[in-house]
Amino acid sequence: MRATLNSRRLCFLFTPRACRHDPWVTLEQALVAGVDLVQWRVKHRDAAGAIRARDVCREHDVPLIVNDDVELALSIDADGAHVGQDDLDVTAARAMLECRLLGVSTHDLDQLIAAERAGADYVGFGPMYPTTTKGYVEGKGADAIVPIVASATVPVFAIGGITAETVSALARAGARHFAVSAALAHAEDPAAATRAILHAIHIASPNEKKR
């Protein structure tokens, strides 16, 4: 699974309660349309929901990452876990997860370097733009991703306010991986929203072959 991370473009930060429509229909539509990584993002422990999400993802050969709960990730045999700066120590999380994927939230270059040294398989970096999901009223902007991508030795998922409209500037700046929440969860048509984001990435990415 680790070997495929670099080819994965779009991570859906999946919170069932945040979805405009039936969350399981939303997840299925997003996966069919091209989401290739899913993060289970629920504040309270919901093992049954996480297992259901895992099973849906496995039908599409897409990894499921559990946010902020390494023990839950292990108990449901998820593909990995993601921790923030204020969560479980990254080194401890790496030891617990063994060969499973480990993602770490980062906000600057020092945190990126520390996460890599502790064994992160990928990092999230942001917030890139204002977002209602986490209540950020300001974002770092596309230019902030440039030195991060240049320095990183693991995939960097740009996060925060990512939409079909905002993703283009990030892709032009060199970002190759993106984490999305509200743009899919709140969409009237999650499949169309997914395709729109992926199309914008394809058009704006400097190394993509245009057809």
Active site residues: 41, 105, 134
Q: Where are the alpha helices (DSSP H) in the chain?
A: 23-33, 47-59, 70-75, 90-97, 109-118, 145-151, 167-172, 182-185, 190-204
At 20 the three-state DSSP class reads coil
Q: Where are the alpha helices (DSSP H) in 47-142?
A: 47-59, 70-75, 90-97, 109-118
Q: What are phi and psi of 188, to 5 degrees?
A: -65, -35
CA dist 127 and 192 (Å) reads 24
Instruction: State the virtual CA torsion across 107, 111, 113, 118 in degrees, nearest 10.
Output: -130
